[in-house]
Every structure is written in C-alpha cells, then in structure tokens.
C-alpha cells in the first residue's frame, strides 16, 4: 500500500474561516501558533467542528483491495476517483497462467493476507478472471469475477472533520486489518503541523 499526499489546505485558511465568525482577523498569525490554538479550541474543544471542514486533504492511494474500497465508500463525506476496471483489465489479460501457490507473482494484482488458504483461493479467482478475459469476454462482464482482494488505486479527498471520524473508527483494533494500516499511513502522511488535530491508535 502506497499513500501520497497530493495537496492540503493551509491552516491559515481554516483560521481565517473561524475568525470570520468574530471578525477577529487582526489576531491572525498566518497559520502560526495562535491560529493553531484557535483551530484546536474552536474545532475540537468547543465542538464547532464544521469549521474544520475548511481543511481538505487529497491523497493518492495505491495497492488497496476492493474489499477496502467498499469500506471507504461508507465514508460519504469524502470524494473518491477510482481506477477503472473497465479499462485496465487488459493488464491481467497479458499475463501467463497462475498456479494457486504463485503468491509473489499474483501479489502484483492481489492484496495478500496472513492466511495461506485465503490467498490460494484468491489466486484461483484471479486465474479464472484471466481465463475469461482471454476468451474475449468483455471487461464489463468479466469484472464480475473479480476477487475482493484485487488491487485498485484512487484519488481520495476528505475534509478534516470527516478525517477525524475516519481515523477514530478505522484505526480501532475492531476495524478491518487492511483499513487499520490505511488509517495509520494516512495519519503519517498528513503535514506534521496538522497532525495535532487528529488521533490515531
């Protein structure tokens, strides 16, 4: 799994939005310590969390499973643009056949778990998909054979308020193991000066 922070809103923008409410622009320090304290006090301590929606982060996320993609779709206050299986299954069509023990080669397309039998069954599903594609079945039909472990990538944008909720829920030990990893990596890829707004187990 690879995470890249593509862009983020400056803390000064969020502080300015908060200062709009009280017309206290003269107290701004352009995203410095006073503004950082203001954002935390108003957004977190006073629970005026809508002000945190002015902070937006856009990540490029690569190498997650379609099972994890379904989990991301439950976070509705985020935008995602996902690699299309309609146009990209030709990559698999060009591969040689897979044996169920072909873990290393199959990991190009599949997220592997710590359970050997699950990985073997995923590789069998991958091979079935490859065979269907070789037979000339259209991608729109063939993609119904995709295993949940099939890798995808996406651009994901989320505001700070929603990201707080995401990190709280998804870094929990009760969350899907793969999304726990994603939550920690997202947190680690936040700008250091923004991390104080979030908690991640």
- Is 19 assigned a catalytic role? no
Mean predicted confidence (pLDDT) in 47-76 = 92
Residue 102: is its pLDDT beyond 90? yes
- CB–CB of 139/87 below 8 Å? yes
CA-to-CA distance for 124 and 116, rounded, in angstroms? 12
- Residue 79 near residue 156, CB atoms below 8 Å: yes
Instruction: Answer whether residue 177 shows pLDDT above 80.
Output: yes
With a cut of 90, say whether residue 181 has pLDDT above it.
yes
Residue whose structure tokens are 């000339």:
136
In the predicted structure, residue 18 carries a pLDDT above the cut 80: yes
Has residue 188 got a pLDDT over 80? yes
Confidence class for position 201, pLDDT limits 50, 70, 90: confident
Residues 110, 98: Cα–Cα separation, whole Å: 12
Structure tokens at 111: 């997220």
Cα 44 to Cα 19, 122, 161, 188, 198, distances in angstroms: 15, 43, 9, 20, 10
- CA nearest 121: which of 139, 155, 148? 148
Check: CB of residue 60 under 8 Å from CB of residue 155.
yes
Q: Where are the domains of the chain?
A: 2-65+68-80+152-197, 87-150
Cα–Cα dist 37/15, whole Å: 9
For the chain, give the mean pLDDT. Answer: 92
Say if CB 86 and CB 139 are below 8 A apart.
yes
> Of 19, 36, 161, 170, which residue is the catalytic one?
170
Work out the pLDDT band at 45, boundaries 50, 70, 90: confident
Written out in words, the top-level CATH class of the domain with range 2-65+68-80+152-197 is alpha beta
What is the pLDDT, as a whole number, of residue 121? 97
Chain segment 141-169, per-residue pLDDT in tens: 999 999 999 999 999 999 999 999 999 99
Please report the pLDDT score of residue 150 as a whole number.
Answer: 96
Give the pTM: 0.90
């Amino acid at each position: 799994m690879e995470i890249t922070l593509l862009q983020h809103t400056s803390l000064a923008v969020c502080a300015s939005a908060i200062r709009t409410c009280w017309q206290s622009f003269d107290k701004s320090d352009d995203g410095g310590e006073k503004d950082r304290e203001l954002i935390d006090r108003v957004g977190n301590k006073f629970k005026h969390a809508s002000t945190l929606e002015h902070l937006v982060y856009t990540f490029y996320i690569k190498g997650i499973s379609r099972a994890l993609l379904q989990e991301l779709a439950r976070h509705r206050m985020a935008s995602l643009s996902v690699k299309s299986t309609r146009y990209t299954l030709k990559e698999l069509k060009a591969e040689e056949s897979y044996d169920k023990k072909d873990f290393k080669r199959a990991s190009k397309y599949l997220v592997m778990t710590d359970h050997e039998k699950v990985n073997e069954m995923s590789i069998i599903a991958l091979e079935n998909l490859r065979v269907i594609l070789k037979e000339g079945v259209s991608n729109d039909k063939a993609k119904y054979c995709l295993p949940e472990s099939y890798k995808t990538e996406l651009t994901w944008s989320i505001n700070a308020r929603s990201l707080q909720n995401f990190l709280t829920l998804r870094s929990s030990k009760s969350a899907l193991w793969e999304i726990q990893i994603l939550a920690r990596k997202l947190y680690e890829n936040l700008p250091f000066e923004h991390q104080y707004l979030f908690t991640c187990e």
